[in-house]
């Protein structure tokens, strides 16, 4: 049953590189080691790479979960020096140079790349999570989709106008790209896609409220683009509340200071906290638990351990700015860690990580987007088409690309949402 190959079980001859996480950081690191004289093992708790930038479209039933996921082992199937293990890693023992899985198994490494990312942070208000799920994993997206679709079903069944109004009020906390894109797509759905499907409610009267604690949405973008994004959102009917703090979230309401907004559907897109694995490294972390790495992305005192993506805080770049927690940052970090492992194997000094900003881009609804490509800023339809092209290009796996194009085409021309699937599942049954 076994086919002898270079593998984690039997390779003693070549250095073992273990990569934790099959997201953008881990996947691009593994790919960059394709021709290296090493045995690579990618470990992820799920079987799939997730195209996170489109997760908000799964949460709003535009795309299906399988459209933006691809099995990691399928993506790496042609890379003969690499194997993939689906397992939950509980700890890193950097003195023994092993990672320990949930079921107590130890996997040895010579080099380690940690790319396990972040989870949403509730800034000390963990009980809010139940009422305001975040959007990081495909299960998160399914849960938000369930709540979003169920709100309309319950409103249709309700005979109480106040309850209907609360059910048709959607609050998104956090005005970063996720919050903005989620808020921008919702009016399209409530006003167009589903309006004719209901008899007792007018879905076009639904409210979408975007709450941002800071002075503007898309805080990391140039100010002019933030203003344009807010303008475009408001034109779609989204209520944008900047400089507004959420003070409490209950099952049937969000509190903004003294103001109470009756709602049953809140999405949390506000903060990130490191995956708990970072603590087991025993190195300096920032307040969010992220690892303060060396310029070459290695961990202080452990030049054989690299941290990339969201989980890493490299020193500020030459322009004085931090590396943003976006897909590009993770991809480039993953490649840099791989390069530095190759340098070490060749006896050469490692290189510092230099983030090349290829631009920021966020869609707003059906036809608009704002983008800062460094050399030029784009808005409106141009930016939207550019966004479309770019995302199709980067989508991992041909089948997903084609399928997403079909679904987008369908949604675009018919205003219909393709993936409005709701099961008879109790909320408690979903974790």
Q: Binding residue for a copy of itself (CB under 8 A) from 77, 106, 260, 321?
A: 77
Q: Binding residue for a copy of itself (CB under 8 A) from 106, 123, 127, 205?
A: 205
Which of 151, 117, 428 has its CA nearest to residue 267?
151
Kindly tell me which of 50 and 217 has the beta carbon lying closer to a copy of itself. Answer: 50
Q: Binding residue for a copy of itself (CB under 8 A) from 14, 31, 34, 66?
A: 66
Residue 202 sits in the site that holds a copy of itself (CB under 8 A): yes
State the minimum distance, in angstroms, from the CB of residue 161 to a copy of itself.
6
Whole-number Å distance between alpha carbons of 92 and 224: 44
Residue 242 sits in the site that holds a copy of itself (CB under 8 A): no
State the minimum distance, in angstroms, from the CB of residue 245 to a copy of itself.
30
Residue 106 sits in the site that holds a copy of itself (CB under 8 A): no
Q: Rule CB under 8 A: which of 79-98 touch a copy of itself?
A: 83-88
The span of 160-168, 178-186, 237-245, 315-323 binding a copy of itself (CB under 8 A) equals: 160-168
State the minimum distance, in angstroms, from the CB of residue 274 to a copy of itself.
18
Kindly tell me which of 78 and 356 has the beta carbon lying closer to a copy of itself. Answer: 78
Distances (CA, A) of 143 to 73, 81, 149, 275: 26, 37, 10, 20
Whole-number Å distance between alpha carbons of 236 and 188: 8
Residue 71 sits in the site that holds a copy of itself (CB under 8 A): yes
Residue 32 sits in the site that holds a copy of itself (CB under 8 A): no
Kindly tell me which of 200 and 321 has the beta carbon lying closer to a copy of itself. Answer: 200
Interaction mask 387-426, a copy of itself, x per CB under 8 A: -----------xxx-xx--xx--x---x-x-xxxxxxxxx
Kindly tell me which of 37 and 322 has the beta carbon lying closer to a copy of itself. Answer: 37
Catalytic residue among 181, 188, 212, 294: 181
The span of 75-83, 180-188, 344-352, 368-376 binding a copy of itself (CB under 8 A) equals: 75-83
Kindly tell me which of 160 and 223 has the beta carbon lying closer to a copy of itself. Answer: 160
Residue 1 sits in the site that holds a copy of itself (CB under 8 A): yes
Count of residues engaged in binding a copy of itself, rule: CB under 8 A: 70
Kindly tell me which of 318 and 431 has the beta carbon lying closer to a copy of itself. Answer: 431
State the minimum distance, in angstroms, from the CB of residue 283 to a copy of itself.
26
State the minimum distance, in angstroms, from the CB of residue 17 to a copy of itself.
15
* Those residues with Cβ within 8 angstroms of residue 357's Cβ, 6 or more apart along the chain or in another chain: 324, 328, 374
Q: Binding residue for a copy of itself (CB under 8 A) from 129, 156, 239, 304?
A: 156
Catalytic annotation present for 88: no
Pair 105, 11: CB distance under 8 Å: no
Q: Rule CB under 8 A: which of 168-197 touch a copy of itself?
A: 168, 194, 196-197
Question: What's the 3-state SS for the chain?
Answer: CCCCCCCCCCCCCCCEEEEECCCHHHHHHHHHCCCCCCEEEEEECCCEEECHHHHHHHHCCCCCHHHHEEEHHHHCCCCCCEEEEECCEEEEECCCCEEEECCCCEEECCEEEECCCEEECCCCCCCHHHHCCECCCHHHHHHHHHHHHHHHHHHHHCCCHHHHHHHCEEEEECCCHHHHHHHHHHHHHHHHHCHHHCCCCCHHHCEEEEECCCCCCCCCCCHHHHHHHHHHHHHCCCEEECCCCCCEEECCEEEECCEEEECCEEEECCCEEECHHHHHHCCCECCCCCEECCCCCEECCEEEEEECHHHEECCCCCCCCCCCCCHHHHHHHHHHHHHHHHHHHCCCCCCCCCCCCCCEEEEECCCEEEEECCCCEEEHHHHHHHHHHHHHHHCCCHHHHHHHHHHHHHHHHHCCCCCCCCCCCCHHHCC
Whole-number Å distance between alpha carbons of 29 and 22: 9
Residue 429 sits in the site that holds a copy of itself (CB under 8 A): yes
Interface residue list for a copy of itself (CB under 8 A): 1-3, 5, 7, 9, 45-48, 64-67, 69, 71, 73-74, 77-78, 83-88, 137-139, 149-150, 153, 156-157, 159, 161, 164-165, 168, 194, 196-202, 205, 398-400, 402-403, 406-407, 410, 414, 416, 418-426, 429-431
Point out the residues that are catalytic. Answer: 181
């Amino acid at each position: 049953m076994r086919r002898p190959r270079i593998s984690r079980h039997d390779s003693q001859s070549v250095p073992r590189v273990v990569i934790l996480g099959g997201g953008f950081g881990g996947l691009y690191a593994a790919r960059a080691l394709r021709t290296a004289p090493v045995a690579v093992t990618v470990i992820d708790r799920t079987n799939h790479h997730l195209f996170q930038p489109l997760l908000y479209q799964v949460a709003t039933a535009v795309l299906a979960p399988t459209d933006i996921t691809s099995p990691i082992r399928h993506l790496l199937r042609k890379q003969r020096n690499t194997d993939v293990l689906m397992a939950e890693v509980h700890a890193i023992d950097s003195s023994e140079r092993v990672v320990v899985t949930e079921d107590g198994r130890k996997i040895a490494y010579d080099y380690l790349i940690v790319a396990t990312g972040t989870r949403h942070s509730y800034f000390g208000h963990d009980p809010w999570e139940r009422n305001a799920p975040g959007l990081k994993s495909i299960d998160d997206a399914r849960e938000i989709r369930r709540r979003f679709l169920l709100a309309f079903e319950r409103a249709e069944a309700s005979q109480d106008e106040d309850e209907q109004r609360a059910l048709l009020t959607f609050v998104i906390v956090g005005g970063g790209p996720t919050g903005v894109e989620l808020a921008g797509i919702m009016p399209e759905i409530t006003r167009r896609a589903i309006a004719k499907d209901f008899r007792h409610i007018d879905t076009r009267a639904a409210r979408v409220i975007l709450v941002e604690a800071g002075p503007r949405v898309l805080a990391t973008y140039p100010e002019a683009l933030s203003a344009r994004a807010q303008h475009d959102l408001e034109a779609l009917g989204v209520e944008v509340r900047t400089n507004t703090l959420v003070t409490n979230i209950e099952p049937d309401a969000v509190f903004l200071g003294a103001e109470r907004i009756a709602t049953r559907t809140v999405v949390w897109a506000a903060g990130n906290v490191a995956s708990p694995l970072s603590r087991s490294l025993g190195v300096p972390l920032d307040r969010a638990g992220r690892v303060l790495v060396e310029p070459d992305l290695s961990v202080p005192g452990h030049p054989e351990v690299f941290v990339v993506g969201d989980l890493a805080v490299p020193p500020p770049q030459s322009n004085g700015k931090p590396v943003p927690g976006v897909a590009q940052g993770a991809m480039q970090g993953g490649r840099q860690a791989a390069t530095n492992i190759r340098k070490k194997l060749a006896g050469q000094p490692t290189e510092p990580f230099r983030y090349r900003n290829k631009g920021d881009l966020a869609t707003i609804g059906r036809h608009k987007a704002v983008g800062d490509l460094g050399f030029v800023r784009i808005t409106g339809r141009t930016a939207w088409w550019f966004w479309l092209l770019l995302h199709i290009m980067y989508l991992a796996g041909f089948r997903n690309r084609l399928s997403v194009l079909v679904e987008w085409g369908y949604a675009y021309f018919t205003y219909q949402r393709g993936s409005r699937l709701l099961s008879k599942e109790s909320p408690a049954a979903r974790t």
